[in-house]
């Protein structure tokens, strides 16, 4: 059975459910507007460890433990772990997965890792290869700065267009059975590179990839932005969000009323984070702690999560290469709300038809 819609969009027949989510965030993220939604906020970025990299491992492992407790499941009830992070060889995820006796896929999509993992997890379930998958990802401001740019100790300048890599970890359990918002469709993205070379200008680099995936998704599904309660990008922040809007307007698509960005939602304007947030944890903690509950209680009926990633490494930046980017889109729906709306519409039409029939008889 062909499950492809249009050119790039996947339709999930089994419609995997997100039955549990959890998020741990760093102190700066905890001070932001979403602080009350996180399951835990770190008191400091070292988290009682001697390095930032070990702090990231610790919080990632603890978040998976927390996720399982919230779902009241033991690790033996999970078929796969799908996880990734920003550090070389996805080392944070590798060490976290070591603590759980579950088959593991380590993936790298940079800041798009959340959506990439959700797509792969949903595909495993939809293909009949398992019943439950944990998708997780993380990032840490200090460890990412040390690897990709300049260690904080060097006191490098922070230009206004640079984004702040979020410290945190988000995780979700996808399940064939149970209750929760469902993943109905996904649009995996293509690699896009329009020549941006500044590794600090993530928004400008990633916006074209986000536009490409959103346009393809709308074309494949024959929908408009108004068919979504929210189209949320992962990590474009102020610069990238503005550019995304302009790129889509050039194609006749207006997302002004439905778009938001996790990099803008995560911090207050006075927190000195440059243009806003980025990093694997940016879209992960916002989705797991804030968007998931809103879907769960029926405030949203359908959202499109488009996490974006800059596929560079320190070596390519030093060699003056441009930055290839990717964006993956995932449709998450609260079917109970959609079904309820559909039932009300059907009931309304039936009542109208019945009234018209009675009138004609008179």
Q: What's the rounded Cα separation, in Å, for the pair 135 and 114? A: 8
Residue (of 132, 152, 135) closest to 143 by Cα position: 152
CATH class of 4-341: alpha beta
Q: Give the pLDDT score at 150.
A: 59
Using alpha carbons, list the distances in angstroms from residue 125 to 24, 135, 335.
26, 12, 18
Q: Give the pLDDT score at 159.
A: 78
Q: Give the pLDDT score at 114.
A: 96
pTM of the prediction?
A: 0.90
Domains of the chain by residue range: 4-341
Q: What's the rounded Cα separation, in Å, for the pair 111 and 284? A: 9
Q: Give the pLDDT score at 336.
A: 66
Q: Give the pLDDT score at 151.
A: 53
Q: What's the rounded Cα separation, in Å, for the pair 5 and 202? A: 30
Q: What number of residues does the chain have?
A: 362
**Helix pair angle (52-71, 141-148), 10° resolution:** 130
Q: Is 192 helix (H, G, I), strand (E, B) or coil?
A: strand
Contact call for residues 330 and 183 (beta carbons, < 8 A): yes
Contact call for residues 44 and 259 (beta carbons, < 8 A): no
Per-residue pLDDT of the chain (362 residues; tens, 9 = 90+): 789 999 999 999 999 999 999 999 999 999 999 999 999 999 999 999 999 999 999 999 999 999 999 999 999 999 999 999 999 999 999 999 999 999 999 999 999 999 999 999 999 999 999 999 999 999 999 998 888 865 554 445 667 889 999 999 999 999 999 999 999 999 999 999 999 999 889 999 999 999 999 999 999 999 999 999 999 999 999 999 999 999 999 999 999 999 999 999 999 999 999 999 999 999 999 999 999 989 988 899 999 999 999 999 888 888 999 999 999 999 999 976 544 344 333 334 443 444 444 444 33
Q: Is 126 helix (H, G, I), strand (E, B) or coil?
A: helix
Residue 79 CB-half CA count within 13 A: 13
Q: Give the pLDDT score at 135.
A: 98
């Amino acid at each position: 059975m062909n499950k492809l819609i249009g050119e790039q969009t996947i339709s999930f027949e089994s419609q995997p459910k997100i039955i549990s989510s959890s998020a741990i965030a760093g102190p700066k993220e905890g001070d932001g507007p979403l602080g009350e939604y996180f399951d835990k906020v770190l008191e400091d970025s070292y988290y009682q460890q001697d390095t930032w990299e070990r702090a990231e491992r610790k919080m990632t492992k603890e978040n998976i433990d927390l996720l399982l407790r919230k779902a009241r499941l033991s690790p033996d009830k999970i078929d796969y772990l799908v996880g990734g992070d920003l550090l070389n060889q996805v080392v944070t995820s590798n060490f976290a997965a070591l603590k759980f006796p579950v088959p593991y896929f380590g993936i790298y999509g940079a800041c798009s890792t959340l959506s990439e993992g959700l797509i792969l997890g949903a595909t495993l379930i939809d293909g009949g290869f398992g019943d439950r998958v944990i998708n997780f990802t993380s990032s840490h401001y200090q460890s990412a700065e040390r690897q990709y740019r300049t260690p904080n100790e060097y006191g490098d300048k922070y230009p206004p267009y640079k984004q702040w890599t979020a410290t945190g970890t988000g995780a979700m359990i996808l399940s064939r059975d149970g209750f929760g918002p469902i993943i109905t469709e996904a649009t995996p993205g293509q690699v896009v590179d329009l020549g941006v070379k500044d590794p600090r200008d993530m928004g400008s680099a990633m916006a074209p990839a986000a536009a490409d995936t959103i346009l393809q998704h709308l074309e494949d599904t024959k929908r408009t932005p108004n068919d979504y309660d929210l189209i949320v990008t992962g990590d474009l922040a102020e610069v990238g969000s503005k550019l995304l809007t302009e790129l889509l307007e050039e194609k006749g698509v207006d997302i002004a009323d439905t778009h938001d960005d996790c990099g803008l939602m995560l911090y207050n304007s006075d927190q000195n984070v440059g243009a806003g947030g980025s990093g694997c944890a940016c879209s992960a903690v916002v989705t797991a702690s804030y968007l998931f509950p809103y879907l769960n209680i029926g405030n949203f009926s359908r959202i499109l999560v488009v996490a974006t990633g800059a596929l560079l490494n320190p070596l390519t930046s030093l060699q003056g290469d441009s930055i290839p980017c990717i964006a993956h889109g995932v449709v998450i729906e609260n079917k109970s709300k959609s079904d309820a709306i559909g039932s009300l519409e059907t009931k309304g039409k039936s009542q109208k038809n019945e009234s018209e029939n009675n009138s004609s008889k008179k």
